[in-house]
Amino acid sequence: MRLLNIHGVGDVRLDAYQRPAAGPQDVVVKMKAVGICGSDLSYIKMGGIPNPLATTALGHEGAGEVIEVGADIAGISVGDAVIVNPMMTPSNIGSGGPEGCFTEELLVRDAAVGVSILPIPEGISYEIAALCEPLAVAMHGVNRADVKAGDKVVVFGCGPIGLGMVLWLIDRGVTDVVALDLAPERRARALALGARAALDPANCDLRAELVKLHGEVPSYGRVGVGTDAFIDAAGAPSILTDVIMMAKFHSKLVITAAYMKPIEFPVGRMLTSEMTITTAVGYPTEMPEVIAAMPRLKDKLASLISHTLPFAEVMKGLEIAATPGSAKVMIEFEDA
């Protein structure tokens, strides 16, 4: 077997791997489809996640077929199609623990059916199922924005997470969504998902465009744009300041992007907008809702995948995932 490991800064290798034997509380899943995540690329740049092991195993967006079930595990059988929820495993799959999904056979330690191992609905392909993790991240970001039908929302960034946010917002009746990205391919995907507008923030006056789309409202002695919530899935250092300077009274900003360096922003300006800035990470509760929505949304979900490559070409997949025009790069296992 093989396993994709980070060995150092920018040093990622497909290593020979011996899967540990499964115990009575464990399940083994034969991987069928695994998505490449933006965080995988960040971990490679960082040289891995600090952990007691010499390497960082990659892959946390996996779906596959159960091939071994520990004697103590009830409710799942060999042959079942499942999604792995890496946040709910004790071994931090693909995020600093010994296991990662970029391998032929994944050991899921202390597996719990309905928690760390989730059945794939009838008629859903492994590729769509493997989108569960990023879609759950996106849904959690939307949940943290606490918006309702009729609200006006701006999403910064149309990578897989930002696109997932556009999808969930529209699915919930929040149809006035303005998506922002530098890459024309990504803006086109946001429009195809139903965004009202998709703009290149580097080549427009964002405030002026938002005034056109969302209007202007008096806001404590000044005028703010009519946007109710901003969601940052891009992480550009100027976003926080730009949003604060144009935000209306009681608007919200949810930060889901990973900022590696401290940034300055005009706190004083926030005083008169009483705006809320919060963050969102992971998906504490969202996966079951994402899975339940898959049969209804499967065609839209398929549009989030821009490339599919075999496991043998995972290194090429990492390169493609780093290009601005790509969306989700999916790795398929040979017999998937």
Q: Which residues bind Zn ion (CB under 5 A)?
A: 37
Question: Nearest approach, Cβ of 177 to Zn ion (angstroms)?
Answer: 22
Question: Nearest approach, Cβ of 265 to Zn ion (angstroms)?
Answer: 27
CA distance 238 to 224: 18
Question: Nearest approach, Cβ of 295 to Zn ion (angstroms)?
Answer: 22
CA distance 312 to 335: 12
Contact 177, 153 (CB under 8 A): yes
At 269, list the tokens.
Answer: 């300006």
CA distance 334 to 33: 10
C-beta of 5 vs 39, nearer to Zn ion:
39
CA distance 212 to 250: 20
C-beta of 37 vs 163, nearer to Zn ion:
37
Q: Nearest residue to Zn ion, using CB?
A: 37
C-beta of 37 vs 257, nearer to Zn ion:
37
Question: Nearest approach, Cβ of 164 to Zn ion (angstroms)?
Answer: 11
C-beta of 37 vs 49, nearer to Zn ion:
37
C-beta of 133 vs 228, nearer to Zn ion:
133
The SS3 of residue 49 is coil
Note the maximum CA span of the chain: 67
Tokens 């360096």, located at residue = 261
CA distance 236 to 185: 19
Question: Nearest approach, Cβ of 40 to Zn ion (angstroms)?
Answer: 7
Question: Nearest approach, Cβ of 331 to Zn ion (angstroms)?
Answer: 13
CA distance 258 to 254: 12
Question: Nearest approach, Cβ of 133 to Zn ion (angstroms)?
Answer: 5
Please name the residue ranges forming H helices in the chain: 38-46, 126-129, 132-145, 160-171, 184-192, 206-214, 239-246, 267-270, 287-302, 314-321
C-beta of 159 vs 201, nearer to Zn ion:
159
C-beta of 87 vs 206, nearer to Zn ion:
87
